[in-house]
């Protein structure tokens, strides 16, 4: 049934190839390291993570999973379909002495069939724009969260400004990311993500934008969702 998996093998290979540099804060993963405290703080302010059951979908090398575990989560499960990033994540947790995080190679749709309504919080960050059928990921995340629980998504908007900043700027001018990291056609408008979430049965609570200042080289949460943005949603209790 491998052919039925909702994943693009080229995307997974891309992330596997870079996996050994995942925790190098000066590598291609610098942006993830930089935005991590911002998103972690935002999530934790909406739903305190202490003692919660958490799922991180498309966790990669575990930058967010491990940080959420260190925030005092009861347990964090990170899942991805790229094998090398998962190995890196596992090794890093070991090195950090973080015991409340686990990693698994499994499709989110398969986990949804196995463990429906099991998690207080599901995060799925910077992943939807790499997947053939993102709406299927949204549905699976909804199945996995408990009634009353929270789901968080972040992705890239699709418009001329996002093309200029997220692809031309980040990949070609500033070289923050390797060329080919993102494909414009796969970017997702907030209205599209909102519709998939609504159709899945999630209620949108908050939206935030993420802005990058190339002069100070810093990110900040903002109200400008035109490039990178985050959704906080709840499954009705």
Angle at 59 between CA 55 and CA 63, to 5 degrees: 105
- Asked if residue 198 belongs to a known ligand binding site, the reply is no
Sign of the Cα torsion 127, 124, 229, 96 reads negative
- Please choose, from the candidates 133, 141, 76, 87, the residue with its C-alpha nearest in 3D space to the C-alpha of residue 111: 141
Of 63 and 236, CB closest to ligand SAH: 63
Angle at 64 between CA 31 and CA 114, to 5 degrees: 135
**Cα distance between residue 221 and residue 185, in whole Å:** 25
Burial of 154 (0-12, 13-18, 19+ CB in 10 A): buried
Of 85 and 169, CB closest to ligand SAH: 85
- Asked if residue 80 belongs to a known ligand binding site, the reply is yes
- Asked if residue 125 belongs to a known ligand binding site, the reply is yes
Closest distance to ligand SAH from the beta carbon of 16 (Å): 7
Closest distance to ligand SAH from the beta carbon of 123 (Å): 8
Closest distance to ligand SAH from the beta carbon of 94 (Å): 19
The site for ligand SAH (CB under 6 A) is made up of 6-7, 11-12, 15, 32, 58-60, 63-64, 80-82, 85, 107, 125-127, 130-131
Distances (CA, A) of 33 to 64, 108, 145, 147, 158: 9, 24, 26, 31, 23
Sign of the Cα torsion 15, 218, 123, 191 reads negative
Closest distance to ligand SAH from the beta carbon of 125 (Å): 4
Of 32 and 151, CB closest to ligand SAH: 32
Collapse the DSSP code of 143 into the 3-class scheme (helix H, G, I; strand E, B; otherwise coil) and give the result: helix
Closest distance to ligand SAH from the beta carbon of 174 (Å): 18
Of 147 and 218, CB closest to ligand SAH: 218
Of 58 and 169, CB closest to ligand SAH: 58
- Asked if residue 21 belongs to a known ligand binding site, the reply is no
Binding-site residues for S-adenosyl-L-methionine, please?
39, 58, 80, 125
Binding-site residues, please?
39, 58, 80, 125
């Amino acid at each position: 049934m491998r052919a039925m998996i909702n994943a693009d093998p080229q995307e997974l290979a891309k992330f596997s190839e870079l996996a050994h540099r995942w925790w190098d804060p000066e590598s291609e993963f610098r942006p993830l390291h930089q935005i991590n405290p911002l998103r972690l703080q935002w999530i934790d302010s909406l739903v305190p993570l202490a003692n919660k059951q958490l799922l991180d979908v498309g966790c990669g090398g575990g930058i967010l999973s491990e940080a959420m575990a260190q925030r005092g989560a009861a347990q964090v499960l990170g899942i991805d379909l790229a094998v090398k990033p998962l190995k890196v994540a596992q090794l890093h947790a070991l090195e950090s002495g973080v015991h409340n995080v686990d990693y698994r190679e499994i499709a989110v749709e398969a986990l949804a069939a196995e463990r429906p309504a099991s998690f207080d919080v599901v995060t799925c960050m910077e992943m939807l724009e790499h997947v053939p059928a993102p709406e299927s990921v949204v549905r699976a995340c909804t199945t996995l969260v408990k009634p009353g629980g929270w789901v968080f998504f972040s992705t890239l908007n699709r418009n001329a400004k996002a093309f200029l900043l997220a692809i031309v700027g980040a990949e070609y001018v500033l070289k923050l990311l390797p060329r080919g990291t993102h494909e414009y056609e796969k970017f997702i408008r907030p209205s599209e993500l909102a519709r998939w979430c609504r159709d899945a049965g999630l209620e949108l609570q908050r939206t935030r934008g993420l802005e990058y200042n190339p002069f100070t080289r810093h990110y900040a949460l903002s109200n400008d969702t035109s490039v990178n943005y985050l959704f906080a949603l709840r499954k009705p209790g």
